[in-house]
Structure 1
């Protein structure tokens, strides 16, 4: 599928004391990982130490990325929802990072670059 247009919506929650509901819909990274592993019709894989979970939410494709324990931003979860409207592809990205601010910011920059690569069709 060729992407004609791209919009990135970014919501980041960084906290070692996460609220009951965060930007990703779960209070902690561990709660999100546990719930998604138990959710029917999800596809789980491990790629380069990252836990990747493919899900559907309200008919949209959702790609979850969970940092490996060795990652400086661990524990962190990045949720990217792929949306299509008027034949254009949009990515809504939200994250919960429970590490220090600097590694969390760096993680989000890395994901923003990945999203730009998607936009460029690479």
Structure 2
């Protein structure tokens, strides 16, 4: 399995993230993963980078980081949107996943991000 992008670690500094589903697919504001990638690349003010084969797009204005799995990943095509959300005096990270691959691969990539989130939270408590 490909390594997760390093930027994901940097953005998972708050409370647990959750993947939400609506009828099997999350509404990310784009009709597909490909449309999200294309739209975000064209959006003014975003910054795109490649990290361990993953495309990572930062949208600072929306306090959002998007991660797109590489084309050779079992969960391709998948978009993972992570948003910083105020929660009282704290901040939390909301994670939404749109996976257009088979369910097993989708479940695996979500579980990997959840494990990563847990590890980062554990490291911060030390």
Same fold (TM over 0.5): yes
- Correspondence for 1:97: 99
Whether contact under 8 Å (2:16, 2:118) holds in the other structure is no
Whether contact under 8 Å (1:14, 1:99) holds in the other structure is no
- Correspondence for 1:65: 67
Q: Give 1 or 2: higher helix fraction.
A: 2
Whether contact under 8 Å (2:65, 2:83) holds in the other structure is yes
- Correspondence for 1:77: 79
RMSD: 2.2
- Give the drift of 1:89: 1.9
Q: Distance in 2 between matches of 1:51 and 1:94?
A: 16
Unaligned runs of 5+ in 1: none
TM-score (norm 2): 0.78
- Give the drift of 1:9: 3.5
Unaligned runs of 5+ in 2: 1-12
- Correspondence for 2:7: none
Change (3 A) 1:75 1:34: same
Whether contact under 8 Å (2:75, 2:109) holds in the other structure is yes
How many pairs were matched up?
112
2:17 alignment partner, one of 2, 5, 8: 8
**Helix, strand or coil for the counterpart of 1:11?**
coil
Whether contact under 8 Å (1:11, 1:23) holds in the other structure is no
Whether contact under 8 Å (1:13, 1:97) holds in the other structure is no
